[in-house]
Chains A and B, each alone.
Chain A
Amino acid sequence: MSIDMEQFKATFIEESLEGLDIMESVLLEMQPGEADAEEVDNIFRAAHSIKGGSATFGFSDISNFTHVVETLLDQIRAGEREVTQEAINLFLSSVDCIRDMLAGAQEGFDINFEQVAEVKAGLDRMLGSAPEAAVPAEAGPETQEDTPAASGWKIIFKPFPDMLRSGNDVVRLFRELADMGEMDAVVDLEGLPALADMEPEEACLNWGVTLSGAVSREQIDEVFEWVEGDCELSITAIGGDEAVLVETPVESVTEAAAANPTPVQAAPATRERRTSNDRRQGDRRKSRSSSENSSIRVGIDKVDALINLVGELVITQSMLGQLGEDFSMDKVERLKDGLAELERNTRELQENVMSIRMLPISFAFNRFPRMVHDLCGKLEKKIELKMSGEQTELDKTVMEKIGDPLVHLVRNAVDHGIETPDKRLAAGKSETGTVHLNAYHQGGNILIEISDDGAGLNRERILAKAIERGLANSGDNLSDAEIFDFLFQPGFSTADVVSDVSGRGVGMDVVKRNITALGGAIDVESRPGNGSTFTIRLPLTLAILDGQLVRVGEQTFIIPLVSIIESLQVEPVRVNAIAGSAELYKLRDDYLPIIRLYDAFGLKPDSTNLEDGLLVVVEGHGQQAGLLVDDLLAQQQVVIKSLETNFKKVVGISGATILGDGTVALIVDIGGIIELSHNGSKRANSAAA
């Protein structure tokens, strides 16, 4: 019978990753010197399961690695080893290594062997010359004594009265012996008590067995392996050239077995491991293709709610269907009720379907405790990471794209925001800094705040740098917000020393671009000595958009409501036509470039006269512009359909949707249309700033 072990590997990898998450979070909580028994037990068990599973399912490299971790944890569990910071860090690195190895096994990419070897060396060093061997003897000496091939064996077997209570059955033992060769058993009734004294649950017979055939001593030992200590056993070889007497009292059997615990089972296990390794090579490609289809875990309650709603929809539909069969005007009230019901069903169904894509933001936050812990070690800072609102839900796609910007901001907070302990003490603050991650809903948006209680942004230094780079003039009277906004300019860094943590001057502009690409925005607040807060505002989902419908000639376009600042009628005196074709509109103190949408999309408008149309002031990619449209229509939620999958990418258009009357409307990509309008010219931009 052959069973393909591959089918269990996915489960194994999944449960191992969960185990590693548990190990990591427990390790992060752990303080040197205080080993909470339950905590240590938890991580030990996780390591233990991973080791056992990886050996079973053919990942011998993972098994060997984890074995050392497990051994160390076992020593800690037994109180033989102290929990040091070094040990905690080493375990955390081990978690990373195992995670890498699992990912490597799953996805088929090459793992960083150097790093694994390095951590393994650290573990081995820590294990030192511990009495236990680091790695179980895999193909260890199988025979501790070269037993001569005997032609048979004489076995004297005297079970102790309690032997049966372990579930071991004399019949089973004899059946096994009989399978190996010709067996002749003689019962010794001497120990048999009188019937009245007989205890049925106790063994009271002694046996003399003669086993003939080519049977090795190991085979016989294996049969009696489980009853060692429960019986008196003597095994004597008979036949061959000379009779070899192997008198084995109980104790020495135990000793021998301890020295080489399970020779018989260890050998085939090694063979299995090797074949699985060969097989894995071929199967990697298979598992990779399956993991490309990204999947989502949905709570069963959400699925139940959907089924429930679909049920209601079906009821409404059948009600309306009946109504339609013999409709007369006196039933119009019922029709209206039915349609209202249908609207409610549809809306609820939509909300529920959308919620399936929603995941708690803890998915994105989870990596930070570890990251902050590691950075603290590297930068010699003391930081407490607080998180709140982890259960706030966010669209899966948004979640994936917000990960990197968040990492960047948290790194910055740790590296630049929080001061070193001595500086903090000197400033009269507590030695330990706080970085706070918070998420919450506000309107149709989700807000994520990354705040620190560090030194705050250095307004003067940023301004000086901005002037140096020609982004501002020394005479400019700029607000804090305007000055902090320079941080998001490409290549802008005020860090004196470029560390390997942050400060390379790349990033903040990318952070801002990524957030804007998601339809979001980022703000900074900072007070010297009190720290800074970065606030990211994101739309809840990318699939539905609150849109403003606008008309240009005969076409309807949709402008995302979040990008609209205001809409106004053009006052001709405020329009400045400057050199070239650019027109600027003076709105309060700013000059906005005017973008005639009909021009951009090559349409025929009602009128080319500025006063006849309306100017919709929008902001995208950090720039403002006024879009000239013929008319403002309704505001409504629209479902975004990708233009790329159905047609091709069009600059200035981010997608399309189908309106209530069945016509298709295009959604304007504000960032794109602004870029399009000034084609790389920064004139309007600097004028607006």
Chain B
Amino acid sequence: MANILAVDDSASMRQMVVFTLRGAGHKVTEAADGQVALDLAKRQRFDLVLSDVNMPRMDGITLARELRALPAFKFTPILMLTTEGGMGKKQEGKAAGATGWIVKPFNPEQLLATIKKVVG
């Protein structure tokens, strides 16, 4: 099972994501914004990073860019949780190094299905 870093400033979204992933047997670490996530990532490895886009202090796009600059996260899958339907945020995320995205709203089943694609 994968070791996942879940980043979202919304406590309810984080709660839902964490509950879902733990229920599926994953190990989950939470972070309330990009800066917290980045500090965590500098100390430990993760198999997958799930990050919200819009967050205070450091947004998800910047987080993806910063993570890609860390040797340990060069190829780590980074998925953005985005509500933007348009291509703008997705392309911005991709340009920053994100692997893919999950469009909100999603339900736990969709989340798990997408995670499964990435971490097997």
| Interface residues of A, Cβ cutoff 8 Å to B | 1, 3, 5, 7-9, 11-12, 15, 42, 44-45, 48-49, 51-53, 55-57, 63, 136, 164-169, 172, 175-176, 201, 225-226, 229-230, 254, 257-258, 261-262, 265-266, 268-269, 272-273
Which residues of A have CB within 8 Å of B29?
Answer: none
- Please indicate the chain A residues that have their CB under 8 angstroms from the CB of B94 in the complex: 166, 226, 229-230
Asked if A45 meets B56 with Cβ closer than 8 Å, knowing A3-B20, A52-B10, A226-B99, the reply is yes
Given A167-B97, A265-B110: A56 and B76 within 8 A (CB)? no
Expressed in whole angstroms, the Cα–Cα distance for A167 and B51 within the complex equals 14
B107 touches A167 (CB 8 A): no
Say whether, besides A45-B56, A55-B83, A164-B75, A1 and B12 are in contact (CB < 8 Å): no
Q: Measured between alpha carbons, how far is A140 from B103 in the docked complex, in Å?
A: 16
Give the one of B68, B86, B105, B112 with max A CB within 10 A: B105
- Is the pair A165, B100 in contact by a Cβ cutoff of 8 Å? no
**A51-B83 contact, Cβ under 8 Å, with A15-B12, A226-B99, A265-B103:** yes
- Tell me the bound Cα distance from A168 to B99 in angstroms: 6
What distance in Å separates the Cβ of A548 from its nearest Cβ neighbour in chain B? 51
Closest to B10 in A: A49
Q: Does B98 lie at the interface of the complex (its beta carbon under 8 Å from any beta carbon of A)?
A: yes
Q: Supply 10 A–B pairs (Cβ within 8 Å), ascending by A.
A: A12-B10, A15-B11, A55-B104, A56-B13, A166-B98, A167-B75, A172-B118, A176-B117, A269-B103, A269-B106
Whether B54 sits at the interface, judged by CB under 8 Å, is: yes
Query: Given the complex, which residues of A lie within 8 Å of B100, measured CB to CB?
Result: 168, 225-226
Q: Which among A55, A164, A226 has the greatest number of chain B C-beta atoms within 10 A? A: A226
Query: Cβ of A164: which chain B residues have Cβ within 8 Å of it?
Result: 75
Task: Find chain A residues with CB under 8 A from B68 CB.
Answer: 165
Determine the residue in chain A with the shortest Cβ distance to B75.
A167
Residue numbers in A under 8 Å from B23 (CB-CB) = 1, 3
Chain B count of residues within 8 A CB distance of the other chain? 44
A57→B117 CA distance, assembly (Å)? 24
The answer on a CB contact under 8 Å between A261 and B19 is no
A57: chain B residues at CB < 8 Å are 12, 16
Residues of A within 8 A of B87 (CB): 254, 257-258, 261
Known A44-B54, A167-B77; 20 more pairs at CB < 8 Å: A1-B108, A1-B109, A5-B107, A5-B108, A9-B12, A42-B56, A56-B16, A57-B16, A136-B85, A165-B68, A167-B78, A226-B94, A226-B100, A254-B87, A261-B103, A262-B85, A268-B107, A268-B109, A269-B110, A272-B105
Chain A residues lying within 8 Å of B109, measured Cβ to Cβ, are 1, 268
CB-defined contacts of A55 to chain B, threshold 8 Å: 83, 104-105
B26-63 with Cβ < 8 A to chain A: 54-56
Bound complex: CA A42 to CA B112 (Å): 31
Q: A11-B15, A166-B98, A167-B97 are in contact. Are A269 and B78 (CB under 8 A)?
A: no
Contact of B83 with A48 in the complex, beta carbons under 8 Å: yes
Given the complex of chains A and B, what is the CA–CA distance between A63 and B85 in angstroms? Answer: 14
Query: B83 to chain A: which residues have CB within 8 Å?
Result: 48, 51-52, 55
The answer to whether A165 and B9 have CB atoms under 8 Å apart is no
Find chain B residues with CB under 8 A from A165 CB: 68, 74-75, 97
- Are B103 and A3 in contact (CB-based, < 8 A)? no
Do B16 and A5 touch (CB < 8 A)? yes
**Contact residues, B70-120 vs A (CB, 8 A):** 74-78, 83, 85-87, 91, 94, 97-110, 112, 117-118, 120
Output the least CB separation between B24 and chain A (Å). 7
With a cutoff of 8 Å between Cβ atoms, the chain B residues found around residue A3 in the complex are 16, 19-20, 23, 107-108
For the complex formed, measure the closest distance between the CB of A325 and the CB atoms of chain B, giving whole angstroms: 53
- Please tell me if the beta carbons of B101 and A226 are within 8 angstroms of each other in the complex: yes
Inside 8 A of A166's CB, which chain B residues have their CB? Answer: 94, 97-99
Residues of B within 8 A of A257 (CB): 87
Name the B residues within 8 Å of A136 (CB-CB). 85
Tell me whether A11 and B12 are in contact (CB under 8 A).
Answer: yes
Residues A53 and B10 in contact in the complex (CB < 8 Å), given A45-B54, A225-B100: yes
